[in-house]
């Protein structure tokens, strides 16, 4: 017996609010966005809906510390994410080398039917440029970056 998901107005509101954003957001942030748009949806309903939508593959999730963040998935195929720690922008990436590595490790240990989730957190080019005062597409090395520590020169006797 297959279970059919109910397509409620609340789910439609949630998906609409997430459409077009490339950032992962928390259920609380999503709830605040919906309320600001005039929705009467409750926080508990948002939590239930995003968990169900994530379970069905309609939303991607990443964990940041103890918090789960959600985003509408642009790619229905297996993929990984690069997530900016500053602004939350996200790039979906394929990583064939990771896939080969995961299969080899599983095989080496006799595991079958494996799955994995990998998210890489860093600083996106735009946020890096804002921090360093350089254009985001600059090829010039960052002169403001901390150089390797220099050892003091000892005077010769």
42 within a domain of the structure (yes/no): yes
Count of C-beta atoms within a 10 Å radius of residue 23? 14
Q: String of b and e for 90-112 (b: at least 16 CB within 10 Å)?
A: beeeeeeeeeeebeeeeeeeeee
Do both 52 and 103 map to the same domain? no
Q: How far apart are CA 69 and CA 96, in angstroms?
A: 25
Range of 69-73, 86-90, 106-110, 146-150 with top mean pLDDT: 106-110
Do both 35 and 14 map to the same domain? yes
What's the pTM?
A: 0.56
Domain extent at residue 61: 8-74
- 51: CATH: 1.10.10.10
Number of domains composing the chain: 2
DSSP 8-class letter at 64 = E
Do both 28 and 63 map to the same domain? yes
CB 78 within 8 A of CB 69: no
27-83 pLDDT, tens digit each: 999 999 999 999 999 999 999 999 998 888 788 888 877 888 888 876 666 778 888
Q: How far apart are CA 33 and CA 60, in angstroms?
A: 18
């Amino acid at each position: 017996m297959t279970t059919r998901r109910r397509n409620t107005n609340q789910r439609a509101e949630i998906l609409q609010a997430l459409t077009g954003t490339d950032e992962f957001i928390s259920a609380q942030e999503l709830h605040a966005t919906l309320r600001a748009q005039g929705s009467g949806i409750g926080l508990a309903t948002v939590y239930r809906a995003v968990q169900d939508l994530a379970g069905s593959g309609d939303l991607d999730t990443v964990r940041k510390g103890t918090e789960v963040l959600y985003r509408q998935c642009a790619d229905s195929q297996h993929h990984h994410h690069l997530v900016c720690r500053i602004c939350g922008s996200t790039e979906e990436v394929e990583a064939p080398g990771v896939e080969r590595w995961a299969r080899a490790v599983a095989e080496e240990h006799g595991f079958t039917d494996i799955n994995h989730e990998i998210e890489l957190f860093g600083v996106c080019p735009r946020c890096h440029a804002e921090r360093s005062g350089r254009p985001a597409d600059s090829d010039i090395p960052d002169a403001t970056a901390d150089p390797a520590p220099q050892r003091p020169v000892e005077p010769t006797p």
